[in-house]
């Protein structure tokens, strides 16, 4: 008789998720704006219960306390179709509730598998979430909130980005309206400056601007840090020689009203962005991981807090750098079918996180020798600009992950030496760049000065 061979299972990684507690029950909440439908399954039983829950702190508190008394404070797993939001924040304050966020796409695809007809209602959605929680929990992760200072920083930098995007949106609307009746303003003023917005606030039409005498216009430009007299006179001459784009009062008067509204919105957004920058700077400098990211090439007051928030404080959140590369959307997707295989851009990911690493990699090109060399090497291999930047970000994540995990700041010299030791392909492109930036001195008139090679 042949002996069966023992199958060796791979050991779990040291950073594997901790073992689950002994659950008292499983709950699925299909959240809505006013009412939530819930389904409850008692652990080890076929018992199922259902009900509705009002979206109010008082109603949620009563419901959570009832669960605590019913199950003696034992842990209850709760599945919700969001990782942030009013309901999650309400549930987070109860220690006996363990939240399992489920991605909306996961729930939608699972619902399609169970109900191919496309039927959908709130109780059915709660059933889907409960099935995922009870039978496919190994594919889910419980919500593990980071430290308060890290979550504060994450929220602040995301809010700042939304305000910056809103400012860009209003500036685009302002540009579009000026093109209709006052296109010369786009040539004379930079809409990103306070001078441009002040000029449009005072004189929202070409006719109002051209009524001023030259001395008043020259004084306005000087008050807004325009010191080039030749440029001032040239701009004044252009103002008097300009012809109106239209004389239709319906266009000019409505345009002037809209322009002043957009200017006021942009000014308000700039004030709030400046205030957020101040708060973000204070919180970031007090963060325990600030020193790790403060010295990164190309990372300034905006990107340093975003990188701190991207990694977080929990060192067990990612098993390795590859998990963060995939979660951030920097790592591409590989699809295989039969004899075919293709790699493409990752669409489903945290867009803000991907944008953070993409922007950092872009800014590092001007400050890091090896980053610029690696980028140029990718371009020589036929990659587009953004593909080359993503490849660089992919490499940066591995470096930053090691620094973050070991709690050591990044050192460019150490990494350059590592590249030379491993005979990296970008070393030939790096050598001439290093030679250009090498410090050399010469004696001139008894004083040490930089040589011509460094000029």
Place of tokens 């797993």: 77
User: What pLDDT does residue 374 have?
Assistant: 92
Over residues 44-72, the mean pLDDT reads 89
Q: Are 79 and 28 in contact (CB under 8 A)?
A: yes
H-helix segments, 341-384 = 351-364, 369-380
The tokens describing 205, both together, are 């039409």
The DSSP call for residue 197 is: H
- pLDDT over 70 (residue 103): yes
User: What pLDDT does residue 393 have?
Assistant: 96
**Residue range 137-187, pLDDT digits in tens:** 988 889 888 899 999 999 999 999 999 999 999 999 999 999 999 999 999
Between residues 409 and 437, the one the model is more confident about: 409
Question: Can you name the CATH fold of 25-145?
Answer: Nucleotidyltransferase; domain 5 (3.30.420)
Split at pLDDT 50, 70, 90, the class of 451 is very low
Q: Are 184 and 200 in contact (CB under 8 A)?
A: no
State the pTM of this model: 0.79
Q: Are 53 and 29 in contact (CB under 8 A)?
A: yes
Over residues 337-353, the mean pLDDT reads 82
- pLDDT over 90 (residue 354): yes
Residue 78, beta-bridge partner list: 27, 99
Ranking 76-90, 105-119, 222-236, 433-447 by mean pLDDT, the lowest is: 433-447
Tell me what the pLDDT averaged over the chain comes to.
Answer: 86
Split at pLDDT 50, 70, 90, the class of 430 is low
- pLDDT over 90 (residue 453): no
Split at pLDDT 50, 70, 90, the class of 452 is very low
User: What pLDDT does residue 429 have?
Assistant: 66
User: What pLDDT does residue 245 have?
Assistant: 92
- Most trustworthy range by pLDDT among 13-27, 211-225, 428-442: 211-225
Cβ-defined contacts of 317-324 (< 8 Å, 24+)? 317/144, 318/401, 319/13, 319/15, 319/16, 320/401, 321/397, 321/398, 321/401, 321/402, 324/397, 324/401
Between residues 176 and 419, the one the model is more confident about: 176
Over residues 376-387, the mean pLDDT reads 92
Which residues, at least 6 apart from 274, have a Cβ–Cβ distance to it below 8 Å? none
**Residue range 365-379, pLDDT digits in tens:** 999 989 999 999 999
Split at pLDDT 50, 70, 90, the class of 86 is confident
- pLDDT over 70 (residue 448): no
- pLDDT over 50 (residue 306): yes
User: What pLDDT does residue 348 have?
Assistant: 79
Cα distance between residue 41 and residue 67, in whole Å: 12
Alpha carbon 161 to chain centroid distance? 8
User: What pLDDT does residue 33 have?
Assistant: 72
Alpha-carbon distances of 73 from 24, 51, 65, 89, rounded to whole Å: 9, 21, 9, 20
Q: Distance from first CA to last CA of the chain, Å, rounded? A: 83
- pLDDT over 70 (residue 18): no
Burial code of 81-99, b = ≥16 C-beta within 10 A, e = fewer?
A: beeeeebbebbeebebbbb
User: What pLDDT does residue 201 have?
Assistant: 94
């Amino acid at each position: 008789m042949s002996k069966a061979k023992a199958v060796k299972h791979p050991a779990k990684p040291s950073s594997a998720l901790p073992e689950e507690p002994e659950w008292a029950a499983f709950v699925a909440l299909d959240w809505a704006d006013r009412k939530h439908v819930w389904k409850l399954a008692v652990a080890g039983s076929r018992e199922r219960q259902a009900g509705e829950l009002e979206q109010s702190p008082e109603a949620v508190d009563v419901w959570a306390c009832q669960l605590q008394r019913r199950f003696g404070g034992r842990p209850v797993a709760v599945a919700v179709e969001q990782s942030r939001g009013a309901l999650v924040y309400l549930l987070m304050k109860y220690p006996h509730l363990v939240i399992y966020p489920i991605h909306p796409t996961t729930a939608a695809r699972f619902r399609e598998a169970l109900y191919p007809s496309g039927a959908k209602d709130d109780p059915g959605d709660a059933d889907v979430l409960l099935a995922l929680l009870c039978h496919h929990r190994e594919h889910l992760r419980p919500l593990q909130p980071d430290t308060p200072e890290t979550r504060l920083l994450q929220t602040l930098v995301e809010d700042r980005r939304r305000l910056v995007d809103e400012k860009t949106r209003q500036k685009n609307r302002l540009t579009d309206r000026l093109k209709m009746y006052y296109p010369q303003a786009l040539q004379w003023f930079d809409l990103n400056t306070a001078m441009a917005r002040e000029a449009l606030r005072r004189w929202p039409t070409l006719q109002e601007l051209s009524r001023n005498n030259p001395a008043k216009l020259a004084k306005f430009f000087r008050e807004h840090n325009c010191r080039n007299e030749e440029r001032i006179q040239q701009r004044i001459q252009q103002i008097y020689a300009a012809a109106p784009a239209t004389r239709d009062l319906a266009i000019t008067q409505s345009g002037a009203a809209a322009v002043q509204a957009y200017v006021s919105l942009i000014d308000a957004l700039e004030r709030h962005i400046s205030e957020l920058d101040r708060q973000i700077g204070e919180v970031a400098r007090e963060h325990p991981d600030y020193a790790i990211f403060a010295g990164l090439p190309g990372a300034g007051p905006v990107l340093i807090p975003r990188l701190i928030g991207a990694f977080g404080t929990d060192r067990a959140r990612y098993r390795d750098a590859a998990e963060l590369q995939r979660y951030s959307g920097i790592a591409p997707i590989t699809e295989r079918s039969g004899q075919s295989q293709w790699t493409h851009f990752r669409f489903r990911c945290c867009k803000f996180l991907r944008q953070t690493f993409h922007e950092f990699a872009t800014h590092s090109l001007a400050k890091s020798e090896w980053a610029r060399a690696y980028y140029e090497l990718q371009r020589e291999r036929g990659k587009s600009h953004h593909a080359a930047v993503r490849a660089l970000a992919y490499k940066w994540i591995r470096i930053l992950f090691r620094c973050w995990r070991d709690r050591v700041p990044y050192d460019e010299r150490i990494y350059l030496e590592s590249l030379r030791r491993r005979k990296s392909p970008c070393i030939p492109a790096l050598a001439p760049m290093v030679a250009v930036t090498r410090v050399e001195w010469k004696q001139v008139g008894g004083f040490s000065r930089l040589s011509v090679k460094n000029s």
